[in-house]
A = this chain, B = another copy of it.
């Protein structure tokens, strides 16, 4: 009898994430170069768990495990690996294995593997493929990165509308190697291979054999342009609750199909890109090499160093003022920091609203006014708080008043720039997630110091 706690301890049991002990056992086997023991341990892991194992291993052990596995590595694990982990593993396995992976995989997964390879390995693998397979891959690679053409599946089920349910079932039952492993909808095409309808498998099954497909299909199905950005594709799947959608080329001919399971990955990837971009990280993941990690953050830090120096230059204009009243130096970071926080809040909401199309030309003006108002209200509330604190601290109501006034000004500026910067960047065709933060924080820093020190110079001295 298998108890629940046995299940918990079994590293291959579903849902259980890899246990520390289990990873440790693998590391020890790998370091002893005990291929049999390592194979024994990883045997029975589901592919996504094997991929997770490669991810958590230190790079040297990861490469060693891949090398020990060699030809015995299940090639289907390759599309589950990302970035540095993929590179580490793929460099240890023979090109024949990679070619075998590409042959076995559905076309979308095969392209996902091939596009990650270095060019010389890519060529070696492509040379090992049969001509027909190679053409499919090369056509896929011809589409732009992150386009519908890259993520679509080329094997699909399309039938003419005059077929009956019975004919369709018989067609599916005939052994047909070009049919995909799993599919959820059948696409209905006209004689020019242009989609005219779609029908969920469950509807096909629920109708009698004699019923015509054309009579039960959904007309005007959602069609995806093969050149569409994957982010737009994900938006349509989410909005229209699609399970699969036909992909068409310029002449509206059916060239592939995208299914929702790939879209889950795209949605997560796009949100991840936005989160990291907003924080100024160009390439994410804790598994990247030290060099990649350092580089992915350095550029952003260097740009910010520039804006920090700019803010310092603003402060430098008021050296004489600060010399006379050093309390200004003590209080000045408050205004800039609060402006930065409020600006980041508005900007983050705006970037996401642009991504989900909640914010568009149709409501832009109204939303800008709202953000300005919210900035003014929060500015006034916080000005009251900080004014009281500063008065109590330095016993100078005029200084407290200047601080409060600067707070209101900077929070209004933060609200406005937080929404106008991403909207403007988006209008200019620049990804607002990537570049908004630097503009917004520069504005709130400069205006924060300028408003506080400028008012102080005018009023206090």
Contacts and interface: CB of A to CB of B under 8 A. Distances in A.
Given A294-B377, A378-B297, A206 B341 contact: no
Given A338-B308, A345-B297, A302 B353 contact: no
Nearest to A224: B15
A207 B170 CA distance: 9
Which of the four size classes fits the interface of chain A? Answer: 35 or more
A173 B378 CA distance: 61
A315 B290 contact: no
A319 interface: yes
B205 A184 contact: no
23 contacts: A17-B357, A52-B357, A173-B205, A173-B206, A243-B261, A260-B260, A272-B356, A280-B341, A281-B345, A290-B370, A294-B374, A297-B342, A297-B374, A302-B382, A304-B337, A312-B333, A316-B330, A319-B326, A319-B327, A322-B322, A326-B329, A328-B329, A337-B445
Interface stretch (A91-99, A114-122, A144-152, A360-368): A360-368
Nearest to A449: B333
A10 B327 CA distance: 62
A237 B264 contact: yes
A136 interface: no
Q: Is the interface of A mostly helix, strand, loop or mixed?
A: helix
Contacts of A341: 280, 300-301, 304
Contact of A274 (B275, B281, B331): B275
Given A278-B348, A305-B382, A319-B326, 7 more contacts: A169-B205, A182-B200, A272-B356, A276-B349, A286-B363, A297-B342, A298-B378
A293 B48 contact: no
A326 B320 CA distance: 9
A243 B180 CA distance: 15
A183 B184 CA distance: 9
A400 B206 CA distance: 78
Interface string A251-284: 0000000001101110110011011101111001
A141 interface: no
B58 A366 contact: yes
A352 interface: yes
Contact of A268 (B58, B240, B267, B304): B267
Contacts of A326: 319, 322-323, 326, 329
